Chains A and B, each alone.
Chain A
Amino acid sequence: MRVLIMGCSRVGAHLASLLETDGHEVTLLDVDPSSFGKLSHTFRGNALLGDGTDEDSLRRAGVEGMDAFIALTEGDNSNIMAAQIAKSVFNVPKVICRVYDPIREELYRELGLDTVCPTTLLAESLRKRL
């Protein structure tokens, strides 16, 4: 699978390594060049500078040939906007979007976006450990 990850956050960098180990072809997109320092030194994929909420940046990153797009910046709104562009402009088959705000996450899930909310996941996990 060809996967485009927006946001070289800790999760983004870690996920990139995992996917690569699984044999996928990974491209990372971030506006901050220093963010790529989080990538494992064994990472062989592409790390590109660019803003995932900008159609031109996405096109340059090869969004049109991607099988999956995952939005993992720290900003809920940037992730939501980029995911909607990937889905409705570029028709990427699998689009996943991180949303920290549980209420916003619920709303966009209702609107058909594939969302992940770290806040509720972590809360649930902590609750089970007590």
Chain B
Amino acid sequence: MYIVIIGAGNVGYHLAKAVLSKGHEVLLIDRDATTLERIEDELGSISLKGDGCEANTLEEAGTARADLFVAVTDQDADNLVACQIAKHRFKVPRTIARMSDVKNDPLFKKLGVDVTVSSTILILQYIENQTTRPPLLTRLAVLRGSDREIVDVKIPPTSAAVGKKIRDISLPQNSLIILLIRQDERIQLPTPATALEAGDRVVVVGDRASEEGLHRALTGS
């Protein structure tokens, strides 16, 4: 893959190094010549000095043949504009923008950035998982572009669901148990007739809004 990276700060440098080691072709663009010199001493000629939001620079970088365009400067506005130019002028199939302000997430997506990455959001999600999530329920993923999530729920011995068939447990609407892991680690595909046992773990797809209801239905006594 040919990957163009805008911003040679810490994120850009480590990213360039990592994708190079995986055998991809990389070009790192930054306005600061000194930073680029230091990086080239270590990684070879992989950089271009210039403004990643300027069409001329991107032209010189051969952005039109890039498979992936990644903007990781520390300025949200610069990352947004660089990605929009890559997308609309150079038709890069996939653009990724680093984002500091979590509020910008819906905006960036609406304006055509394919993927947003924010360490703020990752850390926030971790804190949420640690503090407000009941310990029996862990959120595994949020389905992209929807209000659905996938959670992992451990069935405690005190749960009213123990011994019940799945069809007899009243789960919130739009919830589906998609996988069952027995206490002895056996994996099963659940059917409506499968009965839950204490110590089971179930993986459930459901609406984010009804997470508390799901938690009650599967773990409540």
A positions within 8 Å CB-CB of B: 53-56, 75-78, 80-81, 84-85, 88-89, 101, 103-104, 107, 110-111
Q: Are A107 and B107 in contact (CB under 8 A)?
A: no
Interface string of B81-114 (1 = CB under 8 A from A): 1001100110000000000010100010011000
Across the interface, which residues of A come within 8 angstroms of B77, CB to CB? 53, 75, 77-78, 80-81
Give the nearest-CB partner of B82 in chain A.
A77
Q: Are B107 and A111 in contact (CB under 8 A)?
A: no
Q: Are A76 and B53 in contact (CB under 8 A)?
A: yes
B61–chain A nearest beta-carbon distance, Å: 14
B positions within 8 Å CB-CB of A: 53-56, 75-78, 80-81, 84-85, 88-89, 101, 103, 107, 110-111
Q: Are A111 and B84 in contact (CB under 8 A)?
A: yes
Task: Give A76 to B103 CA distance when docked, in angstroms.
Answer: 21
Task: Give A75 to B76 CA distance when docked, in angstroms.
Answer: 13
Q: Are A104 and B80 in contact (CB under 8 A)?
A: no
Q: Are A107 and B53 in contact (CB under 8 A)?
A: no
Q: Are A77 and B81 in contact (CB under 8 A)?
A: yes
B100–chain A nearest beta-carbon distance, Å: 11
Most chain B beta-carbon neighbours within 10 Å: one of A54, A77, A78: A77
Give the nearest-CB partner of A78 in chain B.
B77
Across the interface, which residues of B come within 8 angstroms of A54, CB to CB? 101, 103
Q: Are A80 and B81 in contact (CB under 8 A)?
A: yes
Give the nearest-CB partner of A56 in chain B.
B103
Task: Give A56 to B103 CA distance when docked, in angstroms.
Answer: 9
Across the interface, which residues of B come within 8 angstroms of A55, CB to CB? 103, 107
A84-B111, A103-B54 known, 12 other contacts, Cβ within 8 Å:
A53-B77, A76-B81, A77-B77, A77-B80, A80-B80, A81-B80, A88-B107, A89-B107, A104-B53, A107-B55, A107-B88, A107-B89
Which of B75, B80, B88 contacts A111, CB < 8 Å? B88
Across the interface, which residues of B come within 8 angstroms of A111, CB to CB? 84, 88
Task: Give A78 to B107 CA distance when docked, in angstroms.
Answer: 14
